[in-house]
Amino acid sequence: MGKSSVVIYNVSKQQYTPTFKIFFFLLPISLAFTSFLLIFIYIYSTSRVFTNPQASPYLEPATNSSIFEQLFSFSTDNEETIPFSIDNTAEDLFFDLPRTASYAKQNQWSIGLGDLFGLFSGYNMSNTEIYHDTDIFLEDYKEMNKSFKIFVYPHKPDDPFANVLLPVDFDPKGHYASELYFKKALVNSHFITKDPNEADFFYMPFSIADMRHDPRIGPEGLQDFIKDYISNISHKYPYWNRTGGADHFHVACHSIGRIAMDKAVEAKENSIQVVCSSTYFAAGYFPHKDVSMPQIWPKEQDPKKLVSSKRNQLAFFAGQVNSPVRAALLKHWRNDTEVYAHFGRLETDDGEQQLRSKFCLHVKGFEVNTARVTDALHYGCVPVILANHYDLPFADILNWKSFSVVVHYMDIPVLKKILQGISLEEYSWLQSNVLKVRKHFKWNVPPVDYDAFYMAMYELWLRRSSVRVRLSASREYI
């Protein structure tokens, strides 16, 4: 007989007063009733928060039109409608349609049980360090610099596709410069080995950005080119076949890179993608395997007024209205005096606006990524991330909560309230950390320790295999 049964049996045999027996009987019933009452109070309070806008300062009333209708059309004062296709908005709607009201994300502002009882308020200042673990990062960084090796598949200058396979001999410009900077930096770095048996990884040096503009390939021929390229290296060299491509990687900053491997399924599932358009929503992106790289628009020099600039404007955004998220931002803040939301191109350099703003908005357009995040850091402006499902660059290393504000799409109506709720002290350490992390989001020629190149290399190093497969001498490529 179990111990609990023995206890119950012995208790039943004892003689107790009627009062004690009643107490013993009512105790579990009282505990159950108390638990039920607490759960009922919590459910009732929570339902008020999400149904009664007056119950919380963070919410706005739901309109009569459905969320679907609000997202897919937006009318200006001139009744001009901005249409959006289903394809471009699928990610925006994912997991969002069932919600009927806005709420703040729990990682920074919460309307959970803690807020209902006044336990939390403002920004969480418990961890202001810019790295998840500074000591581990610095120690591992030294080891990476000493031992990490990459083998680049060789191609000659007279190769018919040398323009997409070899590094450029100039400083790249434009939206997709990160892709070209990485290749140029890598092939001239101490990480390169000509001995495949020393290699932790194998680099496939094709450039997605250059293939798009090559008339022999173009967007429509990109998948076939990559499928043929992988077929060629797997027949000519033994390295792909021994791991199924798991120790291979390529780099792509243009969003078309998401479909580049669609005709090379093994590569898509096994090889590492170092990409700018890093979204959890995309079926072909795996955060534990792939690497998120920042999209950086190269700047000639640091702004002169970086530290001394008086930031008397709350927030700034400039860009095209090419997504429901931006349409919502336009709807709520286009005429605001503190949130400067300009839609279209500015006639002047937007750097001046970023220098005078406390917060700079990164708002999802066609993709989750733009250069606005790194532009904000360049100008010492605290970035506000309005891009759900964005796997932020270098997130394995950097604590993004220490130098940015992440806001959910559904919180756009209360965006100003959220930003105004950040105290001067909280903003000071956010902005101070922005100045500390700037160096990690910059390309240099030649690369400089801890810049974007070295950070991307460290992310790759974290994904290396603990066991290197060595080929026998008879199978090594000569």
DSSP 250-315: EEE-SGGGGGTTTT-HHHHHHSEEEES--BTTSTT--TTTSEE-------SS--TTTTT----EEE
pTM: 0.76
On whether both 266 and 311 belong to a single domain, the answer is no
On whether both 289 and 325 belong to a single domain, the answer is no
Domain count, the chain: 2
Residue 139: inside a domain, yes or no? Answer: yes
**Contact by Cβ (8 Å): 322, 365:** yes
What tens digit of pLDDT does each residue of 159-216 get? 999 999 999 988 888 888 999 999 999 999 999 999 999 999 999 999 998 999 999 9
Residue 345: inside a domain, yes or no? Answer: yes
**Confidence band of 110 (pLDDT split at 50, 70, 90):** very low
**Confidence band of 50 (pLDDT split at 50, 70, 90):** very low
Residue with tokens 């931002």: 329
Q: What is the CATH number of the domain that holds 384?
A: 3.40.50.2000
Arithmetic mean of pLDDT, 270-283: 85
On whether both 304 and 276 belong to a single domain, the answer is no
**Confidence band of 284 (pLDDT split at 50, 70, 90):** confident
On whether both 227 and 326 belong to a single domain, the answer is no
On whether both 228 and 171 belong to a single domain, the answer is yes
Domain assignment of residue 216, given as a range = 134-297+458-463
On whether both 161 and 278 belong to a single domain, the answer is yes
On whether both 270 and 205 belong to a single domain, the answer is yes
Arithmetic mean of pLDDT, 281-299: 86
pLDDT of residue 126: 62
Q: Distance between CA 411 and CA 407 in Å, rounded?
A: 7
pLDDT of residue 462: 96
Residue 31: inside a domain, yes or no? Answer: no
The H-assigned helical ranges of 62-165 are 67-72, 86-93, 113-116, 134-147, 162-165
On whether both 335 and 217 belong to a single domain, the answer is no
**Confidence band of 15 (pLDDT split at 50, 70, 90):** low
What tens digit of pLDDT does each residue of 315-359 get? 999 998 988 999 999 999 999 999 999 888 887 778 999 999 999
On whether both 368 and 249 belong to a single domain, the answer is no
Residue 8: inside a domain, yes or no? Answer: no
Arithmetic mean of pLDDT, 275-288: 82
More confident residue, 220 or 78: 220
Q: Say if residue 221's pLDDT is above 90.
A: yes
Residue 305: inside a domain, yes or no? Answer: yes
Residue 84: inside a domain, yes or no? Answer: no
On whether both 314 and 284 belong to a single domain, the answer is no
On whether both 316 and 381 belong to a single domain, the answer is yes
Backbone angles phi, psi at 475, to 5 degrees: -105, -5
pLDDT of residue 278: 84
On whether both 290 and 362 belong to a single domain, the answer is no
Arithmetic mean of pLDDT, 365-374: 86
Residue 29: inside a domain, yes or no? Answer: no
Q: Distance between CA 357 and CA 377 in Å, rounded?
A: 12
